[in-house]
Chains A and B, each alone.
Chain A
């Protein structure tokens, strides 16, 4: 027998009884797609080092540049959001997802103009990552210097 619903117990009832995302299945898809993107990155890395005889740093840069390009291109072609719907965090967390999070608002807000539309809204989603990423890297740098 369900409890009598009141304003006090309603939210708890809803949270308990509403269907939830299937965590295992979501994780499996994220693992698979995310892993695939990372494998591609590793492949590019190997390609740079073995075929083009680049240094490790240069090969890393090559794979980052190519992945960002692919993320942006697939966003522009309207493919990345379909992939994202399937993969969830699997396609958001890798650097291709970072490209997606910048290109998507840039496309969306083009109609509001290049300054207050594209320029202002481009980092609406990626902005927090940049802000806290920068702060943390400064903190890590100071820590490395001290210890």
Chain B
């Protein structure tokens, strides 16, 4: 059973991340993790008529692939926990319609992947369930029309803007291995430091990321160096700089072991301003690359901190500030002890 080691932190036992399924768009496939994804789409419509349908199909593909790679059948899964960025989280729910698995749809903007993993971890740790699939998806073309402008509109982008990734990832959590142990989690609090610029979500989320990482380290009494990698979701280049600075201010130096999925997902020379974003981003970077590294022991301890900006087009138009959130999940390779 989980042990609460602080106000927001839980130590988990008997939870294993056993497999992941990932699918990305063409541009993401050209990034450094290209060979690691289960599928790279040449056509980002994925044979469908609309981008929304394509995103939902990607979500379903990732879930099916993860279950298959775990050596399980859909019927073995106790619960699907997932979400995406579209209104009423239709990509996840419409995919779940085809899957016939009990389904918990959640929304945490781009923090959704670690939120799902955290919930799945707690459910399995409590012995309520034996197997949960945690999945998220995003699609550049669906997000762009919902949050920004039509695709063919000729406008420029500011240097702090980020590109929503076309990506769907799913991770299977089980009550027994072999797999990577999920050893703890820290729940995020909303942190809003009054950023209003929807083109600078990295800056809006950085205080939330710093807050959750600091809370995790304090409540587990660990130093940043305990982890081989502290992997934030989608702070991008500029948001990462600020988060590192904010943590240094609180006495934690993560500059040596920090990585950000939004920075890593695209090739270094890609025209994506501050980097990638979207809840699919951390799901595929973690699922395709870092989970493998943990499994074969090249990385021993990793803290995944997916970060979310909880804004909507309406709140932006009404001049509201952007609330940020980040949830942390700790993964460790090898056996307990």
Our pick among A11, A80, A103 for the contact of B194 (Cβ within 8 Å) is A11
Assess whether B195 is in contact with A104, with CB atoms less than 8 Å apart: no
Interface centre among B151, B156, B203 (most CB of A within 10 A): B156
A7-B193, A11-B194, A14-B195 in contact; A101/B203 too (CB < 8 A)?
A: no
Assess whether A2 is in contact with B245, with CB atoms less than 8 Å apart: yes
Chain B's interface size range is 20 to 34
Complex alpha-carbon distance, A98 and B9, angstroms: 53
B171-215: which residues lie under 8 A (CB-CB) from chain A? 192-196, 200, 203, 207
Assess whether B194 is in contact with A7, with CB atoms less than 8 Å apart: yes
Instruction: Answer whether residue B158 sits at the interface, using C-beta atoms and an 8 A cutoff.
Output: yes
CB distance from A4 to the nearest CB of B (A): 6
Assess whether B154 is in contact with A92, with CB atoms less than 8 Å apart: yes
Assess whether A10 is in contact with B151, with CB atoms less than 8 Å apart: no
Chain A positions within 8 Å of B145 at CB level: 108-109
Assess whether B203 is in contact with A108, with CB atoms less than 8 Å apart: no
Chain A positions within 8 Å of B155 at CB level: 81, 84-85, 88, 92
Closest to A112 in B: B50
Assess whether B153 is in contact with A10, with CB atoms less than 8 Å apart: no
Assess whether A18 is in contact with B203, with CB atoms less than 8 Å apart: yes
Across chains A and B, the number of contacting residue pairs, with CB separation under 8 Å, is 91
Closest to B160 in A: A18
A interface size (C-beta, 8 A)? 37
CB distance from B9 to the nearest CB of A (A): 23
Instruction: Answer whether residue A41 sits at the interface, using C-beta atoms and an 8 A cutoff.
Output: no
Assess whether A108 is in contact with B207, with CB atoms less than 8 Å apart: no
Chain B positions within 8 Å of A104 at CB level: 149-154
Chain A positions within 8 Å of B192 at CB level: 7
Assess whether A108 is in contact with B151, with CB atoms less than 8 Å apart: yes
A7-B193, A7-B194 in contact; A14/B242 too (CB < 8 A)?
A: yes
CB distance from B211 to the nearest CB of A (A): 11
Assess whether B150 is in contact with A88, with CB atoms less than 8 Å apart: no
Complex alpha-carbon distance, A111 and B45, angstroms: 13
Chain A positions within 8 Å of B156 at CB level: 21, 26, 84-86, 88
A18-B203, A111-B49 in contact; A10/B194 too (CB < 8 A)?
A: yes
A14-B242, A19-B238, A20-B159 in contact; A80/B152 too (CB < 8 A)?
A: yes
Closest to A22 in B: B159
Chain A positions within 8 Å of B160 at CB level: 18-19
Instruction: Answer whether residue B314 sits at the interface, using C-beta atoms and an 8 A cutoff.
Output: no
Interface residue SS majority, chain A: helix
Assess whether A81 is in contact with B159, with CB atoms less than 8 Å apart: no
Complex alpha-carbon distance, A5 and B246, angstroms: 7
A2-B245, A4-B249, A5-B246 in contact; A85/B157 too (CB < 8 A)?
A: yes
Interface centre among B50, B152, B207 (most CB of A within 10 A): B152
Interface residue SS majority, chain B: loop
Instruction: Answer whether residue A140 sits at the interface, using C-beta atoms and an 8 A cutoff.
Output: no
A18-B160, A18-B238, A19-B159 in contact; A5/B245 too (CB < 8 A)?
A: yes
Assess whether A83 is in contact with B154, with CB atoms less than 8 Å apart: yes
B14-29: which residues lie under 8 A (CB-CB) from chain A? none
- A81-123 vs B, CB cutoff 8 Å, 1 = contact: the mask equals 1111111100110000100110111011101000000000000
Assess whether B154 is in contact with A81, with CB atoms less than 8 Å apart: yes
CB distance from B129 to the nearest CB of A (A): 38
Complex alpha-carbon distance, A107 and B141, angstroms: 13
CB distance from A22 to the nearest CB of B (A): 9
Instruction: Answer whether residue A45 sits at the interface, using C-beta atoms and an 8 A cutoff.
Output: no
Instruction: Answer whether residue A75 sits at the interface, using C-beta atoms and an 8 A cutoff.
Output: yes
Chain B positions within 8 Å of A4 at CB level: 249
Complex alpha-carbon distance, A49 and B207, angstroms: 63
Closest to A107 in B: B152
Assess whether B150 is in contact with A85, with CB atoms less than 8 Å apart: no
- A60-87 vs B, CB cutoff 8 Å, 1 = contact: the mask equals 0000000000000001101011111111
Assess whether B159 is in contact with A21, with CB atoms less than 8 Å apart: yes
Chain B positions within 8 Å of A10 at CB level: 193-195, 207
A2-B245, A19-B159 in contact; A87/B154 too (CB < 8 A)?
A: yes
Chain B positions within 8 Å of A28 at CB level: none
| Additional A-B contacts beyond A81-B152, A125-B153 (8; CB < 8 A) | A18-B200, A19-B159, A21-B156, A80-B152, A84-B155, A87-B154, A92-B155, A105-B150
10 interchain pairs (CB within 8 A)?
Answer: A11-B193, A18-B203, A20-B159, A21-B158, A81-B151, A83-B154, A92-B154, A103-B152, A108-B145, A111-B50
